[in-house]
Amino acid sequence: MNSVLQAFREQILQANKESSPLRIQGSGSKQWYGKPVYGEVLDTRLYSGVIAYEPTELYITVRAGTPLIEVEKVLQERGQMLAFEPPHFGENATVGGMLAAGFSGPRRAYGGAVRDFVLGITMMNAQGECLKFGGQVMKNVAGFDVSRLLVGSLGVLGLILDITLKVMPRPQRETSLVFAMSEPDALRQLNRWAAQALPITGSVFHAGRLVLRLSGSESALRYARHRLGGIEFDLADAFWLQIREQQHHFFMAEEGLALLRLSMPSTAPSIPTRAKTLIEWGGAQRWVWTHESIDTIRERVKNVGGHVTQFRYANHQQPVFEPMETALQKVHLRIKHAFDPNGIFNRGQLFSDC
């Protein structure tokens, strides 16, 4: 065990002995997400670097404190990428924070989510034990996939140390098309196109305008442009970066409001509410600013098979995440107790009592 890991272990064991909380944090680029977390900071940036990269085998293993931008640069040099297009939300975002938050970008609905590309993880639990799950290749195995369970866990289960990710080749070409249409028409078209063999890798609808991104070979893009129509978008690269990083003007803070993230079936109709909306992922992810109560929005979204998260600027008098059914919460608490019985990691992030 190297000196950094030994220091982590000593800090964790001391906190566990005293039942005092630890706040696992990299650059802090996503610390606004979820409920406020208090405690002594455990800084993951002390543990950084690429451990292994095999371009021909399509995997990379990195330490959790490694800046995400460094990993993307290494992959870009070999014509590869992280296919889930993770948001950074800060120039110093780390790979561990990316995994713990579980965020995916515009390619999510077309290329897969973060958890779909996690091959293996090494973590440290509250007893200071290093636990390894998974490996370097995708396998179908029986049992509980702990490596993927850690994706989106917000650090409540333990300290993520090493991460092995599946990587993908970058597209040969990309282009974007713009269409003018209403929200109901955009949802119908997106679902119709989803059933066709079209190289769509991003979709955004806002204020009467639908933007599609196409990725692939020149012949595939030529065929898609002919089928779809629309107008080519000259400033597409900057636009998709703004959407990924929530720097588009839609995401500017609305005074006194929380930015709500509605996760719902792509086939669900528009939610009847007076709100500003932006729709991604072929209709499966919908962003909302509204003065209507969160409880009202949650009930409407639940009725169509979805759930609501207070993504940014949360009102902490209301649940940030969709309240769990009692049985499911019991399962979560049992898993939490198995890894962190004294509740020292990111205490209160998901549940008030641990």
What would the pLDDT profile of 207-217 be if each residue is shown by its tens digit?
A: 999 999 999 99
Q: Is residue 326 part of a domain?
A: no
pLDDT at residue number 234: 86
Tell whether 120 and 231 lie within a shared domain.
no
Residue 231's φ and ψ, nearest 5 degrees, are -115, 135
β 50-54/130-134 pair status: unpaired
Q: Quick one: 258 and 294 in the same domain?
A: yes
**Is 39 within a domain?**
yes
Residue whose tokens read 């630890």: 22
Block means of pLDDT (10 residues each) for the chain, 354 residues, are 94 96 96 92 97 97 98 98 97 97 96 95 96 67 72 95 97 97 97 95 98 96 95 94 98 95 96 92 97 94 96 93 89 91 90 56
pTM of the predicted structure, to 2 decimals: 0.93
pLDDT score recorded for residue 353: 52
Q: Is residue 346 part of a domain?
A: no
> Which is nearest to 88 in space by CA: 55, 66, 110, 118?
66
Number of Cβ within a 10 Å radius of residue 316: 11
How many domains is the chain partitioned into structurally? 3
pLDDT at 139: 46
Last residue of a domain, one of 244, 274, 302: 244
Residues 154, 199, single domain; the answer is no
Give the span between the Cα atoms of 189 and 167, in whole angstroms.
Answer: 30
23 and 108 part of one domain: yes
Verify that 146 and 177 share a domain, yes or no. Answer: no
Q: Which residue range forms the structural domain that includes residue 286? A: 253-312
Does the residue 324 lie in any domain? no
User: Are both 33 and 159 inside the same structural domain?
Assistant: yes
Which run of H or E residues covers position 300? Answer: helix 294-302
Per-residue exposure over 3-25, b if at least 16 CB sit within 10 Å of its own CB, e if not: eebeebbebbeebbeeeebbbbb
> What CATH number has the domain bearing residue 161?
3.30.465.10
Q: What is the CATH number of the domain that holds 290?
A: 3.30.70
Q: Has residue 49 been placed in a domain?
A: yes
- Give pLDDT, residue 293: 93
Q: What per-residue confidence (pLDDT) applies to 349? A: 83
Residues 236, 100, single domain; the answer is no
pLDDT value of position 142: 43
